[in-house]
Amino acid sequence: MKLDVTTLDGESAGSVELDDTVYGLEPRQDLLQRCVRWQLAKRRAGTHAVQHRSDVDRSKKKFGRQKGGGRARHGATSAPQFRGGGRAFGPEVRDHAHDLPKKVRVLALKHALSAKVKAETLIVIDDAKLAEPKTKVLAEQFGKLGLANALIISGAEVEANFGKAARNIANVDVLPVQGINVYDILRREKLVLTKAAVDALEARFK
């Protein structure tokens, strides 16, 4: 399929041929959900923890008689039912990551790209460069392209001036082509690819 290429100023810059095996698929929600769940689980710190009964620094002495006291037969005040006692079945430090086959991750990325094409929210620009790192100038250019909420994928590296100008604009993310991922594609309304990113992605999938 063919897609028009534009400049940051909103002017026409020709067209680009997109591979139907990457951008022309029928999006599958199950693949996208699996990949997003894998990404979010992988980035969790898993450092949540509480003090259990054995961790609480309280007396372990039996504080009442076994019989005749008129109360339950408690052996220590570190039990969960007492104020200041340890917590029962609380969270422990652990890794939340789980495996997802590489083929599924690659296919999910293709389906995420295809979803943007189908929704007509994929924009291809010729390049992502600025003469000066001016946020005001870049914001005006984004306004011409209608980019209020977007993910921008540049080439192998993000151009320094463009990266500095874009980081102060809300709801706009800029990533090198190596950092493209399903979650960031789906969380933004529009996806902007440079011509270099399109070529790099096609070479990557081939």
Is residue 58 domain-shared with residue 103, that is, in the same domain? no
Q: 18-71 pLDDT, tens per residue?
A: 999 999 999 999 999 999 999 999 999 999 999 999 999 988 888 888 999 888
User: How much is the mean pLDDT over the chain?
Assistant: 93
| pLDDT computed for residue 158 by the predictor | 93
75/158 same-domain check: no
pLDDT range class, residue 110, cuts 50, 70, 90: very high
Q: Are 76 and 141 found together in one domain?
A: no
User: Which tokens belong to 129?
Assistant: 């460069």
For every residue of 43-108, which 3-state class applies, written as one string?
CCCCCCCCCCCCCCCCCCCCCCCCCCCCCCCCCCCCCCCCCCCCCCCCCCCCCCCCCCCHHHHHHH
Residues 154 and 104 in one domain: yes
Q: Are residues 54 and 131 in the same domain?
A: no
Residues 148 and 116 placed together within one structural domain of the fold:
yes
CATH of the domain at 194: 3.40.1370.10
Q: Determine what percent of the chain falls in helix, strand and coil, rounding each to the nearest 5.
A: 35, 15, 50
Domain boundary among 35, 61, 90: 90
Q: What is the pLDDT of residue 69?
A: 87
Nearest-angstrom CA–CA distance, 84 and 192 = 54
Same domain for 123 and 55: no
pLDDT tens, residue by residue, 59-108? 888 888 899 988 888 889 999 999 999 999 999 999 999 999 999 999 99
Domain that holds residue 12: 2-45+99-205
Instruction: Tell me the torsion sign for CA atoms 178, 181, 187, 192.
Output: positive
| Cα–Cα distance measured from residue 195 to residue 181, given in angstroms and rounded to the nearest whole number | 18
Residues 16 and 68 in one domain: no
Do 127 and 156 sit in the same domain of this protein? yes
Pair 29, 123 in one domain: yes
194 bridge partner residues: 125
pLDDT band, very low/low/confident/very high, at 121 (cuts 50, 70, 90): very high
- Give the pLDDT score at 1: 85
- Do 127 and 155 reside in the same domain of the chain? yes
Number of domains in the chain: 2
Show which of 90, 121, 155 is a domain's final residue: 90
Whether residue 59 is found in the same domain as residue 115: no
Residue 193 pLDDT grade (very low, low, confident, very high; cuts 50, 70, 90): very high
